[in-house]
Amino acid sequence: MNSIKKIIKQKAFETSFGIFLFYRVRVIREKLALILFSDLRYIEYNYKKRFSRDINLKNPKAYTEKLQWLKLFYRNNDMPICCDKYAVRDYLAQRGYEHILHDLIGIYKNAKKIDFESLPNSFVAKATHGSSWNLICIDKTSLNWKIWVKIMNSWMKLNLYVFGREWNYKNVPPQIIVEKFINQSPLIDYKFMCFNGEPKYLQINNEYKGKHYVDFYNINWEKEDFTYKIYTKSDRTIEKPLQFDEMFRLAQEISKPFPFARIDFYNVDNKIIFGEITFFPGGGLLPLIPIENKYDELLGTLLDLPEPNHNLELYNKINN
């Protein structure tokens, strides 16, 4: 069934009109999901579906279990700000990190308000309140702008909270942010996985010979054996970026207030560019492979959970 869904999505994303229809259908699916599933039921159901085991919320050990625990029982008022791709800019600027922010072209509540003619030939547009709701435009002369306006306005009707129950996205105002295109190929995305304010591993998204790979490295820049089940590891070792130590320092500082945070950067022409902050990568529902090596449990040992400060009635019910 999952393979069929994957094929349908791939086919839909082959055309701009297919993308538009995909998001229109998703609006309906979101409404049904909210009616049918509470947060707890959704998490329990999807965890068992992804991992073929019941989630342990009473005494979570695995990394993925602890991320679900944080969704249900922990709140930090800065998390909705930091996952908002526009609001996070002011959050970082106020803390002295304005120099790592990427060039902003505009922010819009309605895609119809974007002056397409004034945009550069290459640009990136993305929803501030979502994940992977992006338009990466390399040549706007080949873009069906009318369809993409409809697609982007479809994003405005979506709420990422519904699928994954990442509470921090629930009330993020839907907007479209347009940024300057980063003209580097291949563009490598360095994602620092920070546990209780300490970077421990990097997820590195990279392109090689036309294919997309996701590799993991430890902080000593040693390649690890694991990756997420939905991705493929490369068979090469990526060169350590020139400004790795500075990226490490920034990730450490920015992640300090949070039990877990993934801090993403690019390193282009000796300049560090901030990507985003993610608190629940893949909704915290991505199995790590090879499963038999128990990397989920290994990463779980690195995350110390805080005291619960939300949903305490449910927390006490589960723990009694």
Compute the distance between CA of residue 231 and CA of residue 236 in angstroms, rounded to an integer.
Answer: 15
* pLDDT given for residue 14 in this prediction: 61
Which residue shows structure tokens 């106020």? Answer: 94
- The answer to whether residues 61 and 51 touch, using CB atoms and an 8 Å cutoff, is no
Mean pLDDT of 149-173: 95
Nearest to 57 by CA among 70, 69, 44, 75: 69
At 236-254, the pLDDT tens digits run 999 999 999 999 999 999 9
Residue 74: band (very low, low, confident or very high) from pLDDT cuts 50, 70, 90: very high
The yes-or-no verdict on residue 306 having pLDDT over 80 is yes
The yes-or-no verdict on residue 6 having pLDDT over 60 is no
Residue 34: band (very low, low, confident or very high) from pLDDT cuts 50, 70, 90: confident
Compute the distance between CA of residue 41 and CA of residue 174 in angstroms, rounded to an integer.
Answer: 26
The yes-or-no verdict on residue 53 having pLDDT over 60 is yes
* pLDDT given for residue 231 in this prediction: 96
Span of 27-36, 50-59, 277-286, 292-301 with lowest mean pLDDT: 27-36
Burial class (CB in 10 A: 0-12, 13-18, 19+), 215: buried
Mean pLDDT of 121-127: 98
* pLDDT given for residue 26 in this prediction: 82
* pLDDT given for residue 10 in this prediction: 53
Whole-number percent of the chain with pLDDT over 70: 96
Give the orientation angle of helix 2-12 with respect to helix 16-36, to 10 degrees.
140
Compute the distance between CA of residue 7 and CA of residue 11 in angstroms, rounded to an integer.
Answer: 6
* pLDDT given for residue 2 in this prediction: 47
The yes-or-no verdict on residue 4 having pLDDT over 60 is no
The yes-or-no verdict on residue 195 having pLDDT over 50 is yes
Mean pLDDT of 225-246: 96
